[in-house]
Amino acid sequence: MTAEIIIIGDEILIGQVVDTNSKDIARELDRIGISVHQIVAITDDKTHILKTLKDAATRADVVVISGGLGPTKDDVTKYALCEFFDDILVSNKDVLNHIEELFKKIKNTPISELNREQAMVPSKATVLPNKYGTAPGLWMKKAKTVFVAVPGVPFEMRMLMEHEILPRLKEEFNRPFIYHKTIRTFGLGESALAERLEEWENNLPQKIKLAYLPNLGSVRLRLSGKGENEKELISGIEAELNKLYPLIEDIYSENINEDDDITVTLSKLLVSKEQFLCAAESCTGGEVAARFTINPGASSCFKGGIIAYATESKKELLNIPWEIIEEHSVVSGEVAEAMATNAKKLFKSQYAISTTGNAGPKKGESEEEVGTVFIGIATPERVFSKKYMFGKNREQIVKKTVNKAFQLLLRELVKK
Amino acid sequence: MTAEIIIIGDEILIGQVVDTNSKDIARELDRIGISVHQIVAITDDKTHILKTLKDAATRADVVVISGGLGPTKDDVTKYALCEFFDDILVSNKDVLNHIEELFKKIKNTPISELNREQAMVPSKATVLPNKYGTAPGLWMKKAKTVFVAVPGVPFEMRMLMEHEILPRLKEEFNRPFIYHKTIRTFGLGESALAERLEEWENNLPQKIKLAYLPNLGSVRLRLSGKGENEKELISGIEAELNKLYPLIEDIYSENINEDDDITVTLSKLLVSKEQFLCAAESCTGGEVAARFTINPGASSCFKGGIIAYATESKKELLNIPWEIIEEHSVVSGEVAEAMATNAKKLFKSQYAISTTGNAGPKKGESEEEVGTVFIGIATPERVFSKKYMFGKNREQIVKKTVNKAFQLLLRELVKK
């Protein structure tokens, strides 16, 4: 059971837009036991699309095509499908009705000729209704391969996958069982970890694969298995994990859901203690809070934050005494600790994260080099700060600071 | 001059990680006149890599391979390259020295056997030094095609592209000139806009391509051209833009850099007026501030923000009177306006953005449906709020709220 994903759109190939659709599609297929063995992004060019469809048909059981179904001239996916299936476009009444209603209800504008054309679908296709947009999904079959086309708009694609495509795929195919287990570790680099695990890794059963996924200060280990027998597969992976744990017991590790961000782990720990976090941010500009609050249920463990970007805001809103700033500079451990302590008080929280640093490109009001960051952590018992040098790239500095701050907090939370 | 990008890594194919490398590589190649016509992501499987290399060699002048150069067992790119080039691995002294120094200086741990193996490179390869990591870049040539391999770590890849690969490619190839111009428009949907521009679009010269890039409330129009004569190409595109402007003069539009976020436009406008923005966020949890401050120079136009996630923080830190919350609920236009007004005062700014809403999944302390958001905007002259329904998906609600808030602010800024 293999699948290929074809992403269509010039904007991907000139590097204007990051393609997130292929990740979402791949994850959903993988979860129902369909392995994606290739993702390819190509231009809105009918000949190129046609060639890619032909190649995919020789290898894959499922081909998911995303993009190029819009109403404008540069959208050619439907025409390529017609040529590939030796088919013609016909107007679909249900789709047309839906488009008309959508325009009446949401857009409050009359339907245009171009939108009317979106109701034209290949005659051999099963139409998959797209509640949230004007372009429907299409389901077609050639020999034993299923071809599915979905719009490139991420939300519409996801809804179609969830409600139309995955249920149909589950019905259409006998799928093997796929099982992943991911362990997040801290404190050892990829190669040091690999060396420590070498013997265990060499003795893994053939059907279990290990991957190292390093990411800014932590290394995730992913064990994956695929097989017909669900029970055997799970017990096989769990047995290997039980051999793994003693090997990494001195470096903090945790069993995580495949996609869980570290903030999910933090949230669970805070909620279980009925304690709250808050943030006082300078150089991260709100990113600590934004990353923390994107998880559902953040309100059960996060009170809020102050982004004191200007120095005067640090004084006026976070009550940092002028003398501390004067004596130690605004980018200093002393200021980071005062920020964390005062935020903890202001928000009546048990924990606080603070950040102050110079993310560049200019030096700003401090003498510290670009890339210098102080992170402060306040806990019920103490406050401390650490200094880091995070390079010259602004986005990297922010990202690394936020990750490091969460790691520092995690260590405090698991101590107890 | 065409290129293909090959991204290697199981984590991409099971949908665990979003591949951002291909976007960055594609953009850089495009900017120096090398068109990427295919991006393919495949597994860490030597046979599959080899087949993909062979396919790419038949079509592309440049093949960039990213990933699979790490020290662990699942990294097989080097072995695939050796097989493809009929080559063997040899130890490279410079790389070994660099790895040893890196470990001494940064990691402060002794070098491991696995890291020593990272100094093994194909004997036919030109080694491209990677200052920031242990795996060097590789430059190889077969017939007329250049093959470049870079590590998958985004920062290391970007540094190698900038300092080693792009300069070499510029020297190696005679490249055509590529010119893009992007116009951001607001207020008309993709199809309505396309209908309005139909005649103009139909009359575009063949060598100029138009793309519609819709994104949450705005549609970007991208004109692209490729040719030998730089001057002719630019004047051709500028001439078409001059015909375009009168067609869209009633909907706000602006000429933007290819990747410019709307926050870049806002920053420029604020700096030119010597005015400042601040934020008071509830449901967006810091994302307004985080997106605004990721741009260099944000400190010249952004004072800071308060994330009042808990209702008590709205009262205590933003001084929202209890009566307003009681009477109108915490998710209301009245609260949004009070948040914006008070933030403007607290941060001594001329403009403020506020957000309050219910991002779900639960209803929280308000009776409003999940997806209900109020955005408040305070300007030197007035304060107003607008209500939106942004669906049921938490991430989407936050994203749409932030985008809409910036759009509302932009309209206020360009009025003057």
User: Which residues of A fall within a CB distance of 8 Å from B290?
Assistant: 284-287, 289-290, 398
User: Which residues of A fall within a CB distance of 8 Å from B112?
Assistant: 191-192, 195
User: Which pLDDT value is given to residue B407?
Assistant: 86
Substitution target from A102, A293, A315, A346 for chain B, most B beta carbons within 10 A: A293
Assign A16 a pLDDT band (cuts: 50, 70, 90): confident
Check CB contact under 8 Å for A288 and B286: yes
Nearest to B377 by CA among B399, B406, B347, B415: B406
**How many CA atoms does the CB half-sphere of B271 hold within 13 Å?**
12
Any bridge partners for residue A352, and if so which?
A: A278, A378
In the block, tokens 């410019």 appear at: B260
A74 to chain B, any CB pair closer than 8 A? The answer is yes
Check CB contact under 8 Å for A304 and B317: yes
Using CA coordinates, name the residue in chain B closest to A112.
Answer: B192
A311 to chain B, any CB pair closer than 8 A? The answer is no
User: Which pLDDT value is given to residue A411?
Assistant: 80
B216 to chain A, any CB pair closer than 8 A? The answer is no
Distance, in Å, from the CA atom of B374 to the CA atom of B388, rounded to the nearest integer, reads 6
Q: Are A359 and B297 in contact (CB under 8 A)?
A: no
Nearest to B136 by CA among B41, B49, B64, B70: B70
3-class DSSP state of A16: coil
User: Which residues of A fall within a CB distance of 8 Å from B115?
Assistant: 191
Distance from CA of B221 to the nearest CA of A (A): 11
Q: Which residues of A171-181 are buried (b: 16+ CB within 10 A; e: fewer)?
A: eebebbbbbbb
Using CA coordinates, name the residue in chain B closest to A107.
Answer: B189
Burial of B316 (0-12, 13-18, 19+ CB in 10 A): middle
Distance from CA of B414 to the nearest CA of A (A): 25
Using CA coordinates, name the residue in chain B closest to A116.
Answer: B191
Distance from CA of B67 to the nearest CA of A (A): 12
A360 to chain B, any CB pair closer than 8 A? The answer is yes
3-class DSSP state of B71: coil
- pLDDT for A153 beyond 80: yes
- β-strand pairing of B62-66 with B120-122: unpaired
pLDDT by 10s per residue, chain B, length 416: 899 999 998 889 988 888 999 999 999 999 888 999 999 999 888 999 999 999 999 999 999 999 998 887 778 999 999 999 999 999 999 999 998 888 877 656 677 788 888 899 999 999 999 988 889 999 999 999 999 999 998 889 999 999 999 999 999 998 888 888 888 887 788 888 999 999 999 999 988 989 888 765 678 898 988 888 889 999 999 999 999 988 987 776 666 665 667 898 899 889 989 999 999 999 999 999 999 999 888 999 999 999 998 889 899 999 999 999 999 999 999 999 999 999 999 999 999 999 999 988 876 666 778 899 999 999 999 999 999 998 888 888 999 999 999 989 988 887 65
Q: Are A300 and A317 in contact (CB under 8 A)?
A: no
A156 to chain B, any CB pair closer than 8 A? The answer is no
User: Which residues of A fall within a CB distance of 8 Å from B346?
Assistant: 316-317
3-class DSSP state of A380: coil
B21 to chain A, any CB pair closer than 8 A? The answer is no
| The two three-digit tokens of residue B131, written as one number | 């200052």
* Helical packing angle, B77-85 and B46-59, nearest 10°: 50
- Closest partner CB to A305 (pick from B30, B213, B307): B307
B35 to chain A, any CB pair closer than 8 A? The answer is yes
In the block, tokens 């390259």 appear at: B81
User: Which pLDDT value is given to residue B257?
Assistant: 64
Residue A159, CA distances (Å) to A28, A88, B276, B370, B403 in order: 12, 27, 40, 18, 21
- pLDDT for A353 beyond 90: yes
A152 to chain B, any CB pair closer than 8 A? The answer is no
- pLDDT for A257 beyond 70: no
A114 to chain B, any CB pair closer than 8 A? The answer is yes
User: Which residues of A fall within a CB distance of 8 Å from B71?
Assistant: 190-191, 194
Burial of A79 (0-12, 13-18, 19+ CB in 10 A): middle
Distance, in Å, from the CA atom of A111 to the CA atom of B141, rounded to the nearest integer, reads 54
3-class DSSP state of B151: coil
Q: Which residues of A31-57 are buried (b: 16+ CB within 10 A; e: fewer)?
A: eebbbbbbbbbbbbbbebbbebbebbb
User: Which residues of B fall within a CB distance of 8 Å from A213?
Assistant: 11, 16-17
Other Cβ atoms closer than 10 A to A93: 9
Using CA coordinates, name the residue in chain B closest to A399.
Answer: B294
Asked whether the CA dihedral A318, A319, A325, A328 is positive or negative, the reply is negative
Assign A366 a pLDDT band (cuts: 50, 70, 90): low
In the block, tokens 């992501």 appear at: B41
User: Which residues of B fall within a CB distance of 8 Å from A281?
Assistant: 286
A196 to chain B, any CB pair closer than 8 A? The answer is no
User: Which residues of B fall within a CB distance of 8 Å from A398?
Assistant: 290, 294
| The two three-digit tokens of residue A53, written as one number | 């469809």
Distance, in Å, from the CA atom of A372 to the CA atom of B394, rounded to the nearest integer, reads 33
Burial of A65 (0-12, 13-18, 19+ CB in 10 A): buried
- Closest partner CB to A394 (pick from B284, B285, B296): B296
| DSSP state at residue B165 | I
Nearest to A65 by CA among A30, B59, A79: A79
A216 to chain B, any CB pair closer than 8 A? The answer is no
User: Which residues of A fall within a CB distance of 8 Å from B16?
Assistant: 23, 27, 182, 213, 222, 258-259
Q: What is the largest CA-CA distance in chain A?
A: 78
| The two three-digit tokens of residue B246, written as one number | 């009168």
| The two three-digit tokens of residue B399, written as one number | 């994203």
pLDDT tens track for A282-303 = 999 999 999 999 988 899 999 9
**How many CA atoms does the CB half-sphere of A258 hold within 13 Å?**
17
Distance, in Å, from the CA atom of B190 to the CA atom of B183, rounded to the nearest integer, reads 13
- pLDDT for A356 beyond 80: yes
User: Which pLDDT value is given to residue A253?
Assistant: 64
Distance from CA of B170 to the nearest CA of A (A): 18
DSSP string, A95-154: HHHHHHHHIIIII-SPPPHHHHHTTEEETTPEEE--TTSSSPEEEEEETTEEEEEE-SSH
- pLDDT for A106 beyond 70: no
3-class DSSP state of A377: strand
B254 to chain A, any CB pair closer than 8 A? The answer is no
A20 to chain B, any CB pair closer than 8 A? The answer is yes
**How many CA atoms does the CB half-sphere of A161 hold within 13 Å?**
25
B139 to chain A, any CB pair closer than 8 A? The answer is no
Distance, in Å, from the CA atom of A214 to the CA atom of A134, rounded to the nearest integer, reads 40
User: Which pLDDT value is given to residue A294?
Assistant: 92
- pLDDT for A49 beyond 80: yes
Q: Which residues of B254-287 are buried (b: 16+ CB within 10 A; e: fewer)?
A: bebeeebbbbbbbbbbbeeeeebbbbbbbbbbbb
Mean pLDDT of A89-104: 90
| DSSP state at residue A299 | G
User: Which residues of B fall within a CB distance of 8 Å from A15?
Assistant: 22-30, 36
Angle at B110 between CA B108 and CA B116, to 5 degrees: 125
| DSSP state at residue B298 | G
A358 to chain B, any CB pair closer than 8 A? The answer is no
Q: Are A84 and A53 in contact (CB under 8 A)?
A: yes
* A-B C-beta contacts closer than 8 Å: 321
pLDDT tens track for A65-77 = 999 988 877 789 9
Asked whether the CA dihedral A24, A25, A29, A34 is positive or negative, the reply is negative
Distance, in Å, from the CA atom of A276 to the CA atom of A409, rounded to the nearest integer, reads 12
